[in-house]
Every structure is written in structure tokens, then in C-alpha cells.
Amino acid sequence: MCGRFTLYSSATAIEQETGVEIPDISPNYNVAPTQFVLTIASNQEQTKAGFLKWGLVPSWSKDPSVGHKMINARAETVDEKPSFKKLLERRRCLVVADSFYEWKKEGKEKQPYRIMLNEEQIFTFAGLWDRWEGEEETITSCTIITTEANELMQDLHHRMPVIIPKNRREAWLHPNTSKTEVKAMLEPFESGQMTAYPVSRDVNSPKNNTPELLEKH
């Protein structure tokens, strides 16, 4: 799964990596569900970046609190589930990050690890978004797609977020990309391009949000 990540890179660095104008953004060393996350979406006319609430609330949902349970979508069934099927066809997005956390079970405890690309590059998760409209509020939200773990991640957890490589981002966002092409992108990222190390258990609480969370323990 993917339940926590980081985005502390500057807007300028993100713009250079994605080629998209980025709004002002504050460093976040412990991004958690229900927070607003930086995403990139596209239609046939333009590609834009903005902030969506992490935890998908389907447009047809009667209760917006369902978003707490829908932070992830499984790649294997994303084209079958009512909450995700139509979104995979027309509301794909990229969620921007520079590392993520996963917890490895060690005896009766769980040790958090930080996972990133080898050169600490900015990268993008495969995401889906939707808009829910209530009588008093509108919620535009997203979920992150997960897949089976690659060789690196298998030692930590059996699932991992889908990372869309730079050369596939445009196709992922383009509304005319075929279902076959889209599904082919939902695969584990190359483990040789990633690294992981243990970090402080302070990351367990979203209240902790400092650069020290990135340090190796």
C-alpha cells in the first residue's frame, strides 16, 4: 500500500522535472491521508497542477467520509471496481512525491523505512481523481494506485505504489490513451533504480513533520 510520503522539493525543482507550472508549496516530510497533495492532471487542451484531498470520495457517494478508506486502489482490479473503473478511463492524474514510507514488521513492532529513487529525484505516483458535490461543500479528491512489490520492496511489504516513469507521464495523463496502454503502466517500478533505509518511528505520527524524519536510523 501507500499510506505516507514526502514532498519537500521546491516548486522550481518540480517544474523543471515535470514541465508544468507549480503553485506555491510548503515542504511536507510526512504527507498523510486526508491532507491535500500536489497532483497533475490533463485534458485535451492543457495540463495543470493543483491540490487534491488524498482519499477518494466518488462523485456518487452518499457519505464523504468514505475517503478515509480509499487512499489506495489496487492495480489488479482498478478497471473493475465501481469506484475506480470510469476514473481509470477519464480521470487519471499524477501525484508528485520525492520519497515514500513503508513499515516492515520486525517481531511485534514495525520499523518505518524511507524509499526513494537512487538519485533522490522527484517522481510521480499513478493516481485517479473525482469530484464530489454536496449541499454545502465540494470535495475534489484522489487515490494512489498500488501494485505488487518489486524485489526491493518485497522485504518491506507485499504492495507498493505505482510510479509512472518520466517517459510515460504524458501518455498516462492523455485522455485518448487506450485502456491497454494504461493497464500496461500499472507495473512495479524497476527495483534497481530505488533505495530504502530505516528511519525514526517519529514518522508514525502525522503530527511530526520535520527534516529529521528523513535521517537514517
106-152 pLDDT, tens digit each: 888 999 999 999 989 999 999 999 999 988 899 999 999 999 999 99
| Active-site residue, from 2, 17, 93, 142 | 2
Percent of the chain residues past pLDDT 90, beyond the cut: 88
Selected catalytic residue, list 17, 93, 102, 142: 102
Q: pTM for the complete prediction?
A: 0.97
In the annotation, is 102 catalytic? yes
216 occurs within a structural domain: no
Q: What is the CA radius of gyration of the chain?
A: 17
In a domain, 215, yes or no: no
In a domain? residue 121: yes
pLDDT at 68 over 90: no
Specify the number of domains making up the chain: 1
Q: Which CATH number covers residue 187?
A: 3.90.1680.10
Residue 217 lies in a domain: no
> Which residue, 97, 98, 82, 153, is CA-closest to 127?
97
Can you give the pLDDT at residue 32? 97
- Which H or E element spans position 89? helix 85-90
Q: Which domain holds residue 52?
A: 4-204
Q: Is residue 213 part of a domain?
A: no
The yes-or-no answer on residue 2 being catalytic is: yes
Instruction: Determine how many CB atoms are found less than 10 A away from the CB of residue 152.
Output: 18
Residue 210, in any domain of the structure:
no
Residue 149 · residue 160 · CB < 8 Å: yes
Distance CA 195, CA 189 (A): 12
pLDDT at residue 116, rounded to an integer: 97
In this structure, is residue 87 part of a structural domain? Answer: yes
